[in-house]
Chains A and B, each alone.
Chain A
Amino acid sequence: MSRRTLILAFVVGAAAIVVSRYLWLPANDKAATDSLTLAFAGEATDMDPTKSAAGIDYYFISQIFEGLVRVDADGKFINWLAESWEVLEEDGKTIIDVRIRPNVKFHNGDPLTAHDFEFAFQRQRDPKISRWSHNQAMVERFEIIDDLHFRLHFNEPDVTYVSDYPVLRLWAIPKHYFQQVGDDGFARAPVGTGPWKFVSRKVNESLQLEAFADYWNQEHRPHVKHLTIKVIPEDLTRIGALKTGAVDWIDAVPPAMIQDVRRTPGITTASYVSPNNMFLQFNTHMPNSPFNDLRVRQAVAHAIDVDAIIKNVLFGQGERYTQIGSGGSGHDPTLLPYEYDPDKARALLREAGYPNGFDTPCYNLTTPREVNIKEVGEAMFAYLTAVGIRCKVVGLEYQAWLNIGRRGRNAPPEMDGVVSWMWGHGAGNDPGVAWTGHVHSFQPGAGFGSYSYTDDPLLDELIKAQRRTFDPEERAALLKRIARIKHEQLLGGLPTYRPYVTFAWRTDKVEFKPWPDAFWRSMQEIGIKSSEPASAQTTE
């Protein structure tokens, strides 16, 4: 075969392959009139809530699955699949007694019963299945009283079971259906009780959902029949898709583009506080660390102009917080952030015996787990260098960053300077679990202090006490006390800011009411303007 023939054969063959794919494709249907198309920057990796590992998984899971309690659109905890629940004590042991809402159905028509929650509990406590099995460690047994009534018996009281997200830590999983289709079948065709039914999914492309006609909550439900969630990781492309009308709603508008999007006619934007809380963690576990001295930690607090960073690096898309953000249990409005005062920072360093400053590694996360996190870290470390805390900035991608902060690995490198860090526990923004991890002292094997460089017996005692306290006011008082000690002693790090997340949608078409779940990406109440509720639509 001659080379010219080979080239011609290739060109014709390649053209044939490419063109034939489109000739044989069914013609694109016109967009269904009762449908919306959304675009997310990221997507869930698993459709089974038992196997979720990261917050991003809830982007998809929260549309299909529900729990017993949740945070509503006004930020209040409300009963959801639980009609009522209470904390009891029997023989000195804690019991959570739950009554399930009646007449709730799964998407396949099966009724929701206590057996489904018991099934979910057994899966969620199995470390071979669930990455959150440690969250069920305090539960001794699950007792079914009747089809709509169950009890959780605890070895030890653990308030994080009712304060952390998801509250009461149990997803409604259809036992009968799961046993029919198996693990693999459930992952490919998940069934829950949520407002959206799963239709289909293409990994890295899209998720198709349909409003659940028999959804139990008629007051808060979607008002559109079909929902398509596209995955568009590139910011400009995602914004372009919204501007051209290819999609109706997008998440994660980057801060630098928010003004441009806001100026675009026909587009509405809205910003919400992310449940992630950013802070700087200090090395206070090595004997010769300069950060063992409170004056040095205070110097760090006064050295960084966080407001300027929010304004100029985040384009205003963030807010200061001091220990616990507003809305969180234990929030203390009298605790104010440290003022930016570089002269005071230098004076404190002199007092602490560092008139010429000192050198220190400064570990910076470069993977964009939050918007512009790398740039914010660089700015903060530049401020430190300006007062004499000379940062040798070490950029770390996500896994290396997790490793640098994790205690007890018995492997170098240890975190020997300052690291930009974050904590977040979903819609309720409760610090209980987070502080157990990065404020309580490190106790190998006991589940305390996995990321902690603090060793304060009083804080340890208070953190354990809040974990055992179910009375909300008593617990809030404990959290406030911990927050004040942390603030005054700068233990457990220096809180910096909470980022915003901004969404945008077509004003003429979309009605959207955000709910805090899934980092505000829950489509509990979304619809097309002036449309009838989906249940009134003619079924095809």
Chain B
Amino acid sequence: MAGAIKLSIESFDHEYLMYLIKRILQGLLSIVGASIVIFVISRLSGDPIAMLLPVEAPPSLIEQTRRDMGLDRSYFEQYVIFARHAIGGDFGQSYRWQMPALELVMQRLPATIELALAALLFSVVIAVPFGVLSAVRRGSWIDRFGNVFAMLGQAMPGFWVGLLLVYFFAIQLNWLPAFGRGTFAQLIMPAIALGWYPVAAQTRVVRSAMLDVLDRDYIRVARALGVPENVVIWKYGLRNALVPLITIMGVYFASMLSGAFIIEVVFAWPGLGRTVVEAVFARDFPVVQAGVLITSILFVTSNLLVDLSYH
């Protein structure tokens, strides 16, 4: 018996290890794929030399600058050079900011992660109780309010919510600061604006999952055994209803990392999204590549952690 258990444990560990290795390799493949795609797309978007030099720069200067920056080489050659340096953490010098692209990205990343975490926290703290209550009080005013709330959340774009927040809470009421990063008060409105949309989706997900779970046999058994209703709902019901929520949280966290740029502009939040979008318009290839790759790594890691939680 002990031997069988030991063999089971060893088999499980081996299986888990193989799964982990497989997922990590898949993740690396995704990151390499992302690097190729962003490399090619950014170069297809146009010539950065036109953005770097004054309008009246002579053609000779344009060509020399192109040669100095290595942009006269083939895409394949440029990619090989880029990949070789990127493995060592060198993503090149930002064309626009004249500083290492990775340094610029890493300077901006903590602000975006902070905003994304705060937004996700806000969305979960609102969505879970709302979703549970909507399910438990199905058909009641709470449920109807939750439905309307969810609909509004998915219909109102985040930047508009952000502008409304600035208008009412900063300009009209002067309760909260309109911009910047540094105090907790400055985090509140951007977090709400960014977390607003996921609240709606997560509320619906929790509600649907709870409705499904509350109809199960083990819930009926728990009730029949006289377990208090609060315990039935919040301990036995919610625990099993969280599976889809975990999945969606992982997806939303990753999308917030890359999609926060409009909120960052509205609130002058010094995050990565804004930097990368500006780099796209400026054809600042090193920053675009560094920003997208770092975001890809975070995205892949986030999905991996979510998947591992199921095992």
Interface residues, chain A, with chain B CB atoms under 8 Å away: 1-4, 6-7, 10-11, 14-15, 17-19, 21-22, 25, 28, 45-46, 48, 51, 53-54, 127-128, 131-134, 184, 187, 202-205, 230-234, 236-241, 243-244, 246, 367, 397-400, 402-403, 406, 408, 433-434, 436-437, 444-447, 450-451
Contacts and interface: CB of A to CB of B under 8 A. Distances in A.
Contact of A237 (B50, B68, B166): B166
24 contacts: A4-B239, A7-B124, A10-B124, A11-B125, A14-B117, A46-B98, A51-B98, A127-B65, A204-B270, A230-B179, A232-B268, A237-B166, A237-B170, A240-B167, A240-B170, A399-B47, A399-B48, A399-B283, A406-B50, A434-B56, A437-B55, A445-B58, A445-B60, A451-B56
B145 interface: no
A415 to B, nearest CB: 14
A51 B174 CA distance: 41
B271 to A, nearest CB: 8
Given A3-B243, A15-B121, A46 B268 contact: no
Contacts of B68: 127-128
Nearest to A399: B46
Interface residues of B, number: 65
B259 interface: no
**What 6 A-B pairs are tightest by C-beta distance, nearest first?**
A240-B178, A240-B171, A447-B58, A437-B56, A204-B270, A232-B268
Contacts of B171: 236, 239-240, 243-244
Contacts of B265: 233-234
B264 to A, nearest CB: 9
Contacts of B120: 14
B275 A134 contact: no
B270 A134 contact: no
A234 B171 CA distance: 14
A132 B179 CA distance: 36
B242 A3 contact: yes
Nearest to B245: A7
A48 to B, nearest CB: 7
Nearest to B45: A399
B183 A237 contact: no
A237 B114 CA distance: 21
B197 interface: no
B75 interface: no
A178 B267 CA distance: 36
Nearest to A437: B56
A43 to B, nearest CB: 10
A54 B98 CA distance: 14
B221 interface: no
Contacts of B45: 399
A201 to B, nearest CB: 11
A3 B265 CA distance: 35
A3 B178 contact: no
Interface of B: 45-48, 50-61, 64-65, 68, 96-99, 104, 107-108, 114, 117-118, 120-121, 124-125, 163, 166-167, 170-171, 174, 177-184, 187, 238-239, 242-243, 245-246, 249, 265-268, 270, 274-275, 281, 283, 309
Contact of A400 (B46, B59, B117, B246): B46
A205 B108 CA distance: 10
Nearest to A204: B270
B117 A2 contact: no
B124 A11 contact: yes
B247 to A, nearest CB: 10
Contacts of A233: 265, 268, 274
A25 B182 contact: yes
A232 B267 CA distance: 8
A159 to B, nearest CB: 15
B104 A203 contact: yes
A19 B309 CA distance: 26
Contact of B309 (A6, A406, A447): A6
A237 B53 contact: no
A203 B170 contact: no
A3 B246 contact: yes
A230 B180 contact: yes
Contact of B97 (A1, A46, A132, A202): A46
A187 B97 CA distance: 10
A236 B167 contact: yes
B311 to A, nearest CB: 10
Contacts of B55: 402, 437, 450-451
Nearest to B108: A204
Contacts of A6: 246, 309
Given A134-B57, A237-B267, A398-B51, A7 B242 contact: yes
Contacts of A51: 98
A246 B50 contact: no
A246 B186 CA distance: 12
Contacts of A131: 52-54, 57, 65
A436 B50 contact: no
Nearest to A132: B54
A101 to B, nearest CB: 29
Nearest to B124: A11
Given A21-B114, A240-B171, A400-B46, A203 B270 contact: yes
B98 A10 contact: no
Given A18-B187, A231-B268, A2 B239 contact: yes
Contacts of B238: 4
Contacts of A239: 171
B269 to A, nearest CB: 9
Contact of B179 (A134, A237, A397, A433): A237
